[in-house]
Each structure stands twice: as structure tokens, then as C-alpha cells.
Amino acid sequence: MRHLYVPLAKNRCMFGVRLSEIPLPVAGRDRESLIDWIIETFNLVRRRKDTSIHQLSMSPIHRILRDYLFAHPEIGVNSNQLAEDFALTPAAIHHHMNRLMRAGLVTYSKGQGWRKYFLRGGSISTAMSYFCMQARHVMKQRMEEMKEFWTKPEYEHEILFSGETMAFITIQLAEWQPLKEEYSKFSQFAEDLGLLGERPGKEIMANSTSEYLLRELFAQRTISLDEVAEGIDRAKSQRILERFRQTGLVERVPRIDRLTTAIWSAVTTQFQRRGEEWLRKKGGFQRLEVSDEMLESIKEGKLNPELTDSFLESMTVERRMLFLNLLGGSLANGYRLCGSANENVERKMSDHLERILRRIQRVGDMLEKDNSNSTTQ
């Protein structure tokens, strides 16, 4: 496989990017829509819920990309011209361009009191290629660094079902840098991967809820909300665990280790409410050919989780799940890392990243083709 050499830009920022997994435009793939897609995917504009696509298209960053950097990638644009054309202050220009530079898409050269910004490589597709290779490299580096955070589990849960991830995830990547003040190595790593949110605040502290939950997960535990330590707010814990899940690093799974207890509870409850006949005909006893001895144990008041497990010993996990469903019971969910070992997590995270990068490269090629068509017309 031929590798494209990635030159280090002389004037560049520390690499840092937040990528949202967004479907490609279906109805319209015109230039405006593709640029909007780039802005949303790279999170170049903090978009509020009530922000329309039209408002996004009118943002300064959209016009900078459309009218300058993407329109004339081989020329670029200087900061004086941007200030004049958009009536932007130097601070505002720096804010918009800094995000593009942190992503490794744009660099600059210095003039007399101004900067000239341009796409790396002098073309849209090349700039996207540079970005994709740098993102892959940083992901590999950070996943390698993650190895030291794993600890031996106190006990293991048998979770046979595959985990449930978000339909569309958001990956944050930042290259390694020296330890910042007030941060631990662990909290800085968590922030760099977006696990602490966009504005971490006190979550960078060693005693934060985020760090507690992350360390539990790296101990290869499956966490349910009823297991969080005393004094930890459960509602806050759920929000944090869902934020972890949004990054793709954590997945939600049914607590199979509690399945037998859940079935025992559901059987006992339904017997008290609806009786033996309902259990036989609608509760799954006949359909799944559950032993009559289990019904006798219920009637005698002797059934417990251990006996339940022995009666269901020959039943697969899938059929036990069906049995619980027929009984109207439910199984608690838990949260765990998306793999049982570092290499498994790295593979899944890399797969998530590759899905986004393929789309980015494709959109870059489409914009490049649009430039070529405009030139020949």
C-alpha cells in the first residue's frame, strides 16, 4: 500500500478536531449543501437546536470556505481581505481560522502584519487526505496510550449480547501534549477524547463523577445505575454514561448476569397477579416447554433464583430473554467499554473513525470535481 507523505506545516496548531457522524446529503448535493455538511461534520460552528440550514449557510465560516479557501485553494486568502470583506475583527478571524488549522486543513504564511491562509496541499482533496491520515495517526497513538488505564476486574459479568452503540457518534481527537495544570494524566486523556464534554469544568478533577465512572469501566466492569457508589447522583451518572456512549468508546448492554433473577421476579409476580393458567398459556410455560416442576415450586412458595436457574439450565440465553419478555418482565441495562481488551476497543474506534473519514474524503472529491467543472465552463 502506497502511503502519502504528510509534510509538517511550518505554522500549525496542535491537532484537535471534533467529528460528528452525519449522513451525506441525499436530496441535494450541490456545493452549498456539501459545504454545510463539512461545517457540521467538523463542528466548525456551534449550532443551536433552532439554527436552520439557511442560517448555517450565512455564517462567516461558510462564506470563507465557499468564496475563498474552496474556490481558490491554490491561492488562499489573507486576513486583511477577510477583515474588509466580512467586517470581522482580527480576533473573530483568528477564531474561525483556528478551528480549520487545528483540524490540519489550513495553514498560513506571514506577511507584513497579516497572515495568508491556504488549504494544505493546494487542493481540497489533498487537504482532506492530509487530515484523514493525521486523524488515523492520532487515533492510533491515543489508543496505544489507553493501555495503561486498564486494571484487572474485581469480578466479571457474563455479557454475551453485543452492545448497543449510538446510531451516529461524535469522535473527538487531540494529539498528545504535556500535562496541563490541575489535570491528571487520566483526566487529560479523557478530555482529549471528548469524554468530559465540550466544557469539562470540575469534571477534570480526580474526584469527579466522570473519572469515577471511567475508572470503573477500565476495570472491565459493566456498570448499572443501581451500582454506582453511595453519594454519586444517578441522574448525573446516566447523563455522563450516555455522553461516554456518544463517543463510541462505551456501549449499552443488557445485564445478562441478572437474567435469572429477573425471570424469577417476573414469574413470582405474574403468579400472584394472574395465576397458574395465565403462566401456562400466555406466560411462556407451554410455548417454551418450561418444566412443570417450576410451577409446583411456585405454588409451594419454594422458588428462588437458584432453583429458577436449575429449571432453565438447558435453555439458551436467547430463549430465556424471550421467556422474560412473555412474562412481561424487563432486564436492566448496563454500560461497558466497547471491547474486552485494548485491541478490541482500538479496532471498534478505528472502524467508527473510518466511516466518517470515507465520507469526508468523498465530499472533498465532490467539491474538487465541482471546482474543475466550474473552471471548464
pLDDT in tens, 29-47: 789 999 999 999 999 987 6
d(CA 352, CA 245): 12
Other Cβ atoms within 10 Å of 48 Cβ, number: 7
Residue 17: per-residue pLDDT: 95
Which residues are within 8 A (CB) of 304 and not within 5 positions of it... i.e. 6 or more apart?
Answer: 264
Tell me what pLDDT residue 337 has: 93
| Cβ(17)–Cβ(135) below 8 Å | yes
For residue 175, the surrounding DSSP H or E stretch is none
Confidence at 182, pLDDT banded by 50, 70, 90? confident
Q: Give me 7's grid cell.
A: 509534510
pLDDT tens profile 235-244: 999 999 999 9
Model pLDDT, residue 5: 41
Tell me, what's the pLDDT at 49?
A: 54
Grid coordinates belonging to 155:
469480578
In 3D, which of 152, 174, 162, 315 has the Cα closest to residue 253?
162
Give the three cell numbers for residue 168: 451516529
Instruction: Say if residue 194's pLDDT is above 60.
Output: yes
pLDDT band at 272 (very low <50, low <70, confident <90, very high): very high
**Band of pLDDT at residue 7, cut at 50, 70 and 90:** very low
Task: Kindly report the average pLDDT of the chain as a whole number.
Answer: 87
* pLDDT band at 115; cut points 50, 70, 90: confident
> Mean pLDDT over residues 312-319, rounded?
93
Query: Residue 37 in contact with residue 77, Cβ under 8 Å?
Result: no
Looking at residue 51, its pLDDT comes to 53
Q: Report helix, strand or coil for 173.
A: strand
Cβ proximity of 261 and 305 under 8 Å: yes
Share above pLDDT 90 across residues of the chain, in percent, rounded to a whole number: 61
Q: What is the pLDDT of residue 12?
A: 57
In this prediction, residues 214-223 reach a mean pLDDT of 90
Ramachandran sector of residue 287 (left: φ over 0; alpha: ψ -120 to 50; beta: rest): alpha
Mean of the pLDDT values across residues 106-117?
84
Average pLDDT over residues 341-356: 95
- C-alpha–C-alpha distance, residues 67 and 44, integer Å: 16
Q: Mind listing the pLDDT tens digit for each residue in 118-140?
A: 999 999 999 999 999 999 999 99
Average pLDDT over every residue of 253-267 = 93
Identify the CA nearest to 138 among candidates 355, 363, 338, 353: 353
Note the pLDDT of residue 88: 82
Domains of the chain plus CATH, in order, are 16-135+355-376 (1.10.10), 151-162+175-248 (no CATH), 257-326 (no CATH)
Q: How far apart are CA 238 and CA 236, in angstroms?
A: 5
C-alpha to C-alpha distance for 285 and 278, rounded to whole angstroms = 9
Q: Name the one residue in this structure whose C-alpha cell is 482500538.
A: 346
For the segment 327-341, the average pLDDT, to the nearest whole number, is 92
Q: Cβ distance 189 to 31 under 8 Å? A: no
- What is d(CA 123, CA 116) in angstroms, rounded to the nearest whole number? 16
CA distance from start to end of the chain: 36
69 and 106 Cβ atoms separated by less than 8 Å: yes
CB burial of residue 116 (10 Å; 0-12, 13-18, 19+)? middle
Q: Count CB atoms within 10 A of the CB of residue 354.
A: 14
